[in-house]
Amino acid sequence: MLARLLYSLLFLLAMPLVWLRLLWRARRQPDYLRHLGERHGHYPPPPPGPLLWLHAVSVGETRAAAPLIEALLQAYPGHTLLLTHMTPTGRATGAELAERHAGRVVQAYLPYDLPFFCARFLAHFRPRIGLLMETELWPNLIAAAAARDLPVLLVNARLSARSARGYARFAGLIRPALAALAGIAAQSEADAGRLRTLGARQVTVCGNLKFDMTPAPDALQRGEGWKAALAGRPLWLAASTRDGEEALLLDAFAVCLRAQPRLLLALVPRHPQRFETVASLVAARGLRFRRRSEDGVPTADTQVWLGDSMGEMAAWYAAADVALIGGSVLPFGGQNLIEAAACGCPVLIGPHTFNFAQAADDAIACGAALRVADAPAAGDAVLRLLAAPAERQAMREAALAFSRAHRGATARTVALIGSFYGQPAETFSGIRAGR
């Protein structure tokens, strides 16, 4: 209690800095200044009827939550689902779900984690159950829910060894928050063990929801169309790259061009606010590039294709001959390779995959992915794989098998939710774990 009181006081004192950070981020993303009242607990009237609440902080968590949201809407047909976020890009991604399920999915920003904001949020929406995606631990929010006897579960929970060490330094704050959760659906046994060590009680291994994400057929068709339009040009995709990685990969690509002049690099930064920065980086190297936001596909003399659009990652994977997963070349912990595997794309990953250690190790073990030491090694691996079509085909087949073998987390998670909230309706009975 004392640790949470100190945390709240420090958070309150830091609020002017929080507002300044919003203004700073709004320079590149003006949407950060929209819905400001929601960040302080002020909302439009809530929808009528019982409400399920799921929090997905940004784009990755929202996409991962998609199969769970679909399953919950099917399982509890008389309910509305409140989908909360912290970033405009997460909210924009969730808007696709809200549009698809008009009237049954509503969106809002989660308020800042101060007691009076959290109390206002919960009193306004009065959800029946709360679901926090992956690693979203908000001590005041969890405490406010516990005081109202509102069951809150951490779902698709992951905790890297590095994050666990960081959390352990704040055990007085984190341990009570974990203990107050009604339950946790962990991605793996390793995640579950680390969470238990930090004080979690009801932990069940349900698997990773991202394996249940099915690439949209239209996205796959779009990618196949790009591939056909390239007329045999090999395509190296650098997917979800982070700050500092693009420069290293562009240098490696320049070396690859000497051996493979027709090679095309598709460079897709992780964060949209960096699109212009990366475009300037490519231009400064004298490379001929085209933006995806421009209609059509690259011309014959295009060397770099800049992925400055949103929601098309499955199309990129479908078009690529080989993909390097960003965030893994430098120590960011790596982005998720599961979507690439579901699209049957051969994958390269760098040395830094601590955010998705289990998935990365499993993909390597089954032949769906290869680990490289750095950006130059990635370039070497690309050239080698382009010269070995049989090996690329074997990796495609291994990737699809890897994706199929790990499905079923959605059904297991819904069953766990049902144990706290009430068993799902009969309409969900056809879905089984492992399908």
Catalytically annotated residues: 61
Count of CB atoms situated within 10 Å of the CB of 390: 7
Tokens linked to 199: 């004080």
- Alpha-carbon gap, residue 43 to 176, rounded angstroms: 29
- Alpha-carbon gap, residue 111 to 325, rounded angstroms: 32
**SS3 letters for the chain?**
CHHHHHHHHHHHHCHHHHHHHHHHHHCCCHHHHCCHHHHHCCCCCCCCCCEEEEECCCHHHHHHHHHHHHHHHHHCCCCEEEEEECCHHHHHHHHHHHHHCCCCEEEEECCCCCHHHHHHHHHHHCCCEEEEECCCCCHHHHHHHHHCCCCEEEEEECCCHHHHHHHHCCHHHHHHHHHHCCEEEECCHHHHHHHHHCCCCCEEECCCHHHHCCCCHHHHHHHHHHHHHCCCCCEEEEEEECCCHHHHHHHHHHHHHHHCCCCEEEEEECCHHHHHHHHHHHHHCCCCEEECCCCCCCCCCCCEEECCCCCCHHHHHHHCCEEEECCCCCCCCCCCCHHHHHCCCCEEECCCCHHHHHHHHHHHHCCCEEECCCHHHHHHHHHHHHCCHHHHHHHHHHHHHHHHHCCCHHHHHHHHHHHHHCCCCHHHCCCCCCC
Q: What angle do CA 218, 220, 221 make, to 5 degrees?
A: 60
- Alpha-carbon gap, residue 133 to 226, rounded angstroms: 34
Q: Which residue has the tokens 């699809």?
A: 400
- List, in order, residues 6 or more apart from 148 with CB less than 8 Å away: 122
- Alpha-carbon gap, residue 265 to 92, rounded angstroms: 27
CB-based burial, 286-298: b 16+ in 10 Å, e otherwise: ebebbbbeeeebb
